[in-house]
Amino acid sequence: MGYFKIDGPVSLEGDVEISGAKNASLPVLAASIISDSKVVIKNVPDLLDVRTMIDILRSVGMEVSFNRGTVEISPAASPNTDVPYELVRKMRASFNVLGPLVAKYGTAKVALPGGCSIGVRPVDFHISGLEKMGFEIEIEHGFVIAKKKNVKSARITLPKPSVGATEHLMTTASVLDGIDTVIENAAMEPEIIDLQEFLKELGVEIEGAGTSIIRIKGGVKSKKAQHTIIPDRIEAGTYAIAIAATQGKGRIKNLVPEHLNSLWEFLEEAGVSLKFNENIVEISMDERPSPLNIDVAPYPGFPTDLQPQMMAFLSISRGTSHIRENVFHSRFLHVDELRRMGAKIELSDSVAIIDGVEKLSGAPVNGTDLRATAALVIAAFMAEGSSEIHHVEHIFRGYENIIEKFKNLGGRIEYIEVNEYVD
The one segment of 55-63, 159-167, 210-218, 409-417 that binds ligand EPZ by CB under 6 A: 159-167
26 touches ligand EPZ by CB under 6 A: yes
Interface with ligand EPZ, residue 106, by CB under 6 A: no
Instruction: Go through 398-409 and write b for each residue having 16 or more CB atoms within 10 A of its CB, e for each that does not.
Output: bbbebbebbebb
Torsion of CA 18, 19, 24, 27, to 10 degrees: -160
Compute φ and ψ for 119, nearest 5 degrees.
130, -175
Residues 6+ positions from 419 with CB-CB distance below 8 Å: none
Q: How far is the CB of 357 from ligand EPZ (least distance, A)?
A: 27
Asked if 196 and 176 count as a contact pair (C-beta separation under 8 A), the reply is no
Report in angstroms the alpha-carbon separations of 68 from 46, 225, 419: 8, 19, 29
* Single-letter code of the amino acid located at 276: F
Binding residue for ligand EPZ, selected from 61, 106, 114, 122, defined by CB under 6 A: 122
Alpha-carbon distance of 396 to 319, in angstroms, equals: 33
Which of 115-123, 247-255, 339-347, 401-409 is the region at the interface with ligand EPZ (rule: CB under 6 A)? 115-123
Distance CA 234, CA 305 (A): 7
**Stretch of residues binding ligand EPZ (CB under 6 A), selected from 22-30, 68-76, 101-109, 244-252:** 22-30
Nearest to 220 by CA among 64, 75, 27: 75
Annotated active-site residue in 40, 64, 116, 403: 116
Within residues 374-413, the interface with ligand EPZ by CB under 6 A covers 398
Q: In the window 312-341, what residues touch ligand EPZ (CB under 6 A)?
A: 327-328
Q: Tell me the residue type at 104.
A: K
Asked whether position 305 contacts ligand EPZ by CB under 6 A, the answer is yes
- In the complex, minimum distance from the CB of residue 168 to ligand EPZ, in angstroms, rounded to a whole number: 9
Residue of the chain from 23, 32, 238, 307 that contacts ligand EPZ (CB under 6 A): 23
To ligand EPZ, the closest distance from the beta carbon of 379 in angstroms equals 17
Interacting positions 360-379 with ligand EPZ (CB under 6 A): 370-371
Which residue number has the CB closest to ligand EPZ?
Answer: 164
- Is 292 a residue of the active site? no
How far is CA 200 from each of CA 217, 218, 314, rounded to the nearest angstrom? 11, 11, 42
* Binding segment (CB under 6 A) for ligand EPZ, from list 60-68, 157-165, 313-321, 337-345: 157-165
Q: Which of 152, 160, 275, 318 binds ligand EPZ (CB under 6 A)?
A: 160
Residues 205-264 that bind ligand EPZ (CB under 6 A): none
Given 123, 192, 267, 402, the residue binding ligand EPZ (CB under 6 A): 123
**Cβ-defined contacts of 85-91 (< 8 Å, 24+):** 85/111, 85/142, 85/143, 87/52, 87/55, 87/56, 87/59, 88/56, 88/113, 89/114, 90/52, 91/26, 91/49, 91/52, 91/53, 91/397
Please report, as a single letter, which amino acid is at residue 87.
L
Considering the rule CB under 6 A, would residue 309 count as an interface residue with ligand EPZ?
Answer: no
Active site residues: 116
- Judged by the rule CB under 6 A, the positions of this chain that interact with ligand EPZ are 22-23, 26, 92-93, 121-126, 160, 162-165, 187, 304-305, 327-328, 370-371, 398
